[in-house]
Chains A and B, each alone.
Chain A
Amino acid sequence: MGSGEEGAVERAIVRRYRILYMSYPVIAVALSIAILALVMYLIGVDPIKGLRTLFYSSFGNAYYVTETLVRATPILMVSLGLMFAFSAGVWNIGAEGQLYIGGVAAAVTAISLGWLPPPIPLIVAWVAGGVAGALWAFPPAALKAKYGINEVFTTLMLNYVAIYFVSYLLHGPLMNPTTLFPETVTLPESSWLPRVVPGYRLHAGTIALFAVFVPLTYLVIKRTPVGFNLRLVGSNPELARSCGINIGRQVMLTLMLSGFFAGLSGANEVTGVVLKMRPDISPGYGYMGIAVALLGRLNPVGIALASIFMAGVVNGSYTISMMLKIPIGIAQFTQGLLIVIITLGELLIRRLTEARKAPVELKPGGGG
């Protein structure tokens, strides 16, 4: 076998591998739509009509589009943070809890600083939300960095602690004293994120996220030594170590950074959409963020697109179940199913495209 022929075989393998790897997001989206159609069919809705309604109610007119972007905002924020952690091979499953802690911290800050002039309460509330999220990620980060304890378990279990802790606060010390609903009082106006178009809920957070955060994180992950360090640690920690990188520090950094982003996501919902802290502030943005980060291939641009897709499905399925009087549980069930399928699919495709597994036909004979 001459070296030219060998090179050709290798190039063919690489080509196949790239096609397989790049085509999966498309397959995942198609698969998601097929599952939506199947669920509709099973509950007695015409899938074609159903899908059309779904698409219309997420992207059909300007109002729906802005609503989808508003929905995409917290998912994208969480997901950009997870991108850093996942790139370094750190599996933070705790964004949901970090988001709740960030949300409650932002709400408390905003309420107590409401008397200050405008953007100050807002800015301090965001910082508080981010820092609270990062601190919530500290115990798993430290345990992982110091003792190698698997972060998947610790972060996941802290989600429940966070959500119930927030629930306790909202039923106790933070309960709205006039309505006696388990939620905080409405935030003072000085801490609200400015709306962009009158009559629409589209707010400055969404704009900032897409226009500033996405390019910025892209630069950091793809073009700075910080991002390169993360990818090196994620792909081969042993090599990273012998290049002089401190693995423990990278783990601390990324886990807390992703907690920071999740906390910001909570602050964003509190100051931009709900305007108070509630026990149902997130319908699972922390988990959607996981699927979106993977579907977007740990690339900010891909993640932005994936978050819009995910938001469209969420909004569409809520609208549909209201319009067709289907129990809302079906919408939530379908969302959960999609998260699982996308996440598993991505992990599976990574495994399948690992070292030398792409199939290649054998040409009989061959050179000598």
Chain B
Amino acid sequence: MQTRVSGRELLRDVVVMEGIVKVYPGGTVALRGVDFSLRYGEIHCLLGENGAGKTTLMKILAGSLRPDLGRVVVKGEEVRFRSPADAAKLGIGMVHQHFSLIPSFTVAENIVLGYPEEGVRQKLKLDIEVLAEEIRRFSEDVGLPVNPNALTRELPAGMKQRVEILRLLYRRADVLILDEPTSILTPLEVGELFKALRKLKAQGKTIVLVTHKPREALAIADRITVLRRGRVAARIEDPGEIDESGLAELIVGERVATSVSKVGNLARGVRRPALTVKDLYVLDDRGVEAVKGLDLELYEGEILGVAGVVGNGQRELVEAILGLRRPVKGRITLLGVEVTGKPVGEVISLGLAYIPEERLLRGVSTELSVAENLVVKQYGKEPFCRRYLINVKLIKEFARGAVREYNIVAPDINSPVKFLSGGNIQRLIIARELSLNPRVVIAEQPTAGLDVKATNFVHEKLIELRNRGVAVLLISADLDEILKLSDRIAVISGGRIVKVYDCVEAIDLRELSEYMLGIRR
């Protein structure tokens, strides 16, 4: 496996990784011998589906994980990073999938945080004004201007990302790793980001862009590496020679087709509303109004996609509908019954199913068994419970059936759910919720973190429900998903539905982005 790095490569490549193997403590083999290289001054896309090992590989390069086997050569020298600080010394910096900024700090504070060298910070006292001015000048010099005094919490996602990048540049990083930076951005913001990346490239920076979207790779990459299940599936030297579907095939390895298709929309006239929200106001945990005057109508037999940047009141809206959060004002009607402020149990029994965003927090109990998790919403009811006693045999029978029907891969039905993978946990949740024969389903980020196969499964199930006449409220940060599944799209921004598209086909993405970002109302 050890191929020697040649002299020519040394001059050309800023990073060479060879034969990288990484096994997580739980036994997951994330990388199975990966070779990866970066040339000076290129934009390199690392492409692969969820779980392919992209984050793991990049964390190794950035020094926050250590490989079990293999070697890493940076700028001609073999390195063994013990921490991200070691990597930073050689100019390597990473922006992680989740923001690592402190929300209550200003932009300038976040940028200099933890970088106690030179300049203003040598004095004991931090001069905020000097600092802010320095950051303003710095950000303009590199072509990514920011307002240094803005409070980080109040910035849109695209700006937060810019702050993260500036943080790295300020530490003189010349190899920038961005882990799935586009997943939380609107198309408009993605465009801005790509513009910024091209500027950085012109300044001689080397950039790794991690993504699972072929379209993005084709839009910006000089070279592409495709990872699949911990191995390199392809190295593409010239992205001009391949197209989106070619890349998609390389990512998945085989063609996966969605087998269920939407049958035509039910005629407008006979549509019956399943869920109506009128002039709703809901507070968030901090006591701030997160939903302010929201109106929404969901009909039977449709998928209504709620598009919006995370944190615009989606969570509070869902919790209010479920009865988990009491609205301060407004009216929620579910299947003709007013449910505003009603307890959860009552709302569920009307026929409301919920596929929550935080699977481990709200979707399952990891300590309880697969069988138990499958019945957490009905063990107290017939036929599972008769005369105060639970029928364990029946529950096991039911669980075996569900495991078979939904292809849940589990050691056995009695093992705790903590041993299941994310995709299988989601299958379990869907099996449970659908076994309740719901008439309305709320699906919150239902495919976040799932691989292509599991994602397709979830999509098929949602479409099946819709075809059977169930009303589906789909809340997703993934615009592609919304566009693919929805019959209608509602855009949520600032706690309000600012736009409803009744026809998905002719949507102008730029306009949609502007609604999402609150530029247009």
Residue positions of A touching B, CB distance < 8 A: 1, 3, 6-7, 9-14, 17, 219, 223-225, 228-229, 231-232, 235-236, 238-239, 241-246, 354-360, 362, 366, 368
Contact = CB atoms under 8 A, between A and B. Distances in A.
A9 B32 CA distance: 16
B23 A362 contact: yes
B256 to A, nearest CB: 14
Contacts of A7: 409, 411
A241 B389 CA distance: 22
20 contacts: A1-B229, A14-B419, A219-B389, A224-B389, A228-B379, A231-B372, A232-B365, A232-B376, A235-B367, A236-B364, A239-B362, A242-B324, A242-B354, A244-B346, A356-B419, A357-B26, A360-B26, A360-B27, A366-B29, A368-B231
A12 B26 CA distance: 11
B390 interface: yes
A13 B27 contact: yes
B190 interface: no
A356 B26 contact: yes
Contacts of A245: 345
B270 interface: no
A277 B389 CA distance: 39
Closest 8 CB pairs of A and B: A244-B345, A356-B26, A236-B365, A225-B380, A360-B27, A244-B344, A235-B367, A235-B365
B390 A223 contact: yes
A20 to B, nearest CB: 13
B344 A362 contact: no
B392 interface: yes
Contacts of B68: 362
Interface residues of B, number: 46
Given A14-B415, A356-B418, 5 more contacts: A3-B409, A14-B419, A231-B368, A239-B376, A366-B32
A9 B364 CA distance: 22
Nearest to A219: B389
A7 B346 CA distance: 39
Contacts of B26: 13, 356-358, 360
Interface in B337-382: 343-348, 354, 356, 361-368, 372, 376-377, 379-380
B322 interface: yes
A244 B411 contact: no
B229 A243 contact: no
A225 B364 contact: no
Contacts of A6: 409
A207 to B, nearest CB: 25
Given A241-B324, A242-B322, A366-B29, A228 B380 contact: yes
B116 interface: no
A13 B419 contact: yes
B188 interface: no
Contact of B376 (A14, A224, A243): A243
A241 B344 contact: yes
B368 A243 contact: no
A14 B420 CA distance: 10
A322 B268 CA distance: 90
Nearest to A360: B27
A242 B266 CA distance: 32
B452 to A, nearest CB: 14
Contacts of A11: 411-412
B348 A244 contact: yes
B365 to A, nearest CB: 4
Interface in B419-464: 419-420
Given A228-B380, A232-B376, A239 B364 contact: yes
A232 B366 CA distance: 10
Interface string B398-413: 0000000000011110
Given A13-B26, A356-B418, A232 B344 contact: no
A173 B271 CA distance: 77
A228 B377 CA distance: 11
Interface string B315-345: 0000000101000000000000000000111
